[in-house]
Amino acid sequence: MTRTRIGLLVALILTAMPTVAQQRPDRSRPPEVGAPPALSLASVERRTLSNGLTVLYMPKHEVPLVQVNVVIRAGSVGDPADRPGLARMTARMLDEGAGERDALAFADAIEILGASLGISDDYHRTVVRLHVPLGQLDAALPLLADAVLRPRFDAAEFERGRRQRLTSLLQARDEPRAIATVIYDRTIFGADHPYGRPDVGTAASLRDMTRDDLVRFHRAWFVPNNTAIVVVGDISLDALMPRLEAAFGGWRRASPPAVQVPAASQVAARAITLVNKPEAAQSEIRIGRIGVSRDTEDYYALTVLNTILGGSFTSRLNQRLREEKGYTYGASSNFAWRPTPGPFTAQAAVQTAVTDSALYWFMFELNRIREPVPEEEVTRARNYVALRFPGAFQSVAQIAGQLEAVWLYGLPLDYFNTFVPGILGVTQADVRRAAMRYLDPERMAIVIVGDQVRIEAGVRGLGLGPITVLSVEDVMGPPPVLDGTR
């Protein structure tokens, strides 16, 4: 290239380039937030197998993958009162040998397909999730069916799993976060309520649990009319249904036990439970009360309300306790959405020396949220929720996980396409009404796990209510015995 041509090219580039002034961003104000992107998912279709098992299906053809989630209404609310932890132990044993394969052979069979199989459980469900390349779906579905329908519950694997959980309970005694979770749930709901019992079990329940307990729980709760299969991926419904019928159609119907979740009494008055953890570097704080069930008409308003209070990094609690005061790495709040009312919780782990100060600011913000929230703050919270929402629907696994809630809570099939308009419709008055109805700082339980010697006097000085002091053993029971349990 000649020098003349090079010079002309440079001149053209310089002419096309914006000036330095045009390049410099305007930092005098925050950038404008654009309109929330429209979320338009493919239609969800509902079908049933010959045995009545529900199938929810959504196509997603961009990548040759399929997600198959088997959702069973079997969770810790079904634990017998003397066997907390039974549902979780049952769930965690489903893939520890199934059908004709022991645990190692079953894991190898999944891995050789390039698939993954995961299991989770909570108070109201057990979910077995299969993620598989489309070309391996025919080989993977029988393995999924084995895990759900035909777990082996091998004695050696059961004993290994139980010892692992006993070890976890022993470790939890040294973890203030775990201690706080146990005593908080018990304080809010009571020791006899399903939400007040530890879903991981206790040393006594795990020691007395037998393989036959798992077999009976599985036989009672794992039935097709208590189950749904959620499928998202690169397969047509016409091609999918015969495959599901072959794998699950022979599963015999039966009546599952009735779910017994008694109504719990709301916190009557503010009181503090202090669990002494000598020399704890931090104090775990939990503040809350019984919230509301997922089917509440105030779901959208409470979602926006909680985003303002403690549901985002820029929420009031996090800005106050982390950014302004430097007491913690993070403070948050949430409503636990369940078929029956779960807890509302505000929480943080704070430096021991500022436990009383942190508690003061928690109560300050819990009172302030009941005052009218500026319209600008409501708008920002609405946009935050709406702008983040489509990000939960990027992969087949994410979409299937979201669709589990459609079946579990009885939501409309087009629910997710209407979510953003519902959030954007929340008004300043809606937020105030929800705060006044559901958040009463005078009727909240306060739980603190920390060094009593260093924090009790400061906490008492706040005058927030009577204080009950407990030991770790009062909360967690005697240390589990790992040797000679069976």
What's the pLDDT tens digit per position in 186-216? 999 999 999 999 999 999 999 999 999 999 9
Q: Which domains does the chain have, with CATH numbers?
A: 45-248 (3.30.830.10), 271-476 (3.30.830.10)
DSSP per-residue codes, 303-367: HHHHHHHTSSTTSHHHIIIIIIT--EEEEEEEE---SS--EEEEEEEEEGGGHHHHHHHHHHHHH
Cα–Cα distance list, 116 to 110, 143, 147, 153, 245 (Å): 6, 11, 13, 20, 22
CA pair distance 439, 427, nearest whole angstrom:
18
Cβ contacts of 386 within 8 Å, gap of 6 or more: 36, 420, 423, 424
pLDDT interval class at 61 (50, 70, 90): very high
3-state secondary structure of 273: strand
Q: What average pLDDT does the segment 444-450 reach?
A: 98
pLDDT interval class at 4 (50, 70, 90): low
**pLDDT above 90 as % of the chain:** 89
The H or E element that residue 59 is part of is strand 54-59
Interaxial angle between packed helices 103-112 and 137-149, expressed in degrees from 0 to 180 and rounded to the nearest 10? 150
In 60-176, at which residue ranges do the beta strands (DSSP E only) sit?
65-72, 116-121, 126-133
Q: Which two tokens stand for residue 120?
A: 């989770």
Q: Check whether 17 has a pLDDT greater than 80.
A: no
Q: Return mean pLDDT, the chain.
A: 93
Q: Check whether 12 has a pLDDT greater than 60.
A: no
Q: What average pLDDT does the segment 456-464 reach?
A: 98
Q: Both ends of the chain: CA-CA distance in Å?
A: 85
Instruction: Say if residues 113 and 132 touch (Cβ distance below 8 Å).
Output: yes
Cα Rg of the chain (Å, integer): 26
Return the half-sphere exposure (C-beta side, CA atoms, 13 A cut-off) of residue 268: 4
35 C-beta neighbours (distance < 10 Å), count: 9
Q: Which two tokens stand for residue 56?
A: 């929810």
Return the half-sphere exposure (C-beta side, CA atoms, 13 A cut-off) of residue 18: 6
Position 6, amino acid: I
Position 291, amino acid: G
Position 481, amino acid: V
The residues with which 133 forms a beta bridge, in sequence order, are 65
Helices (H), 52-136: 86-92, 103-112
Q: What average pLDDT does the segment 337-348 reach?
A: 97
What's residue 485's pLDDT?
A: 47
3-state secondary structure of 39: coil
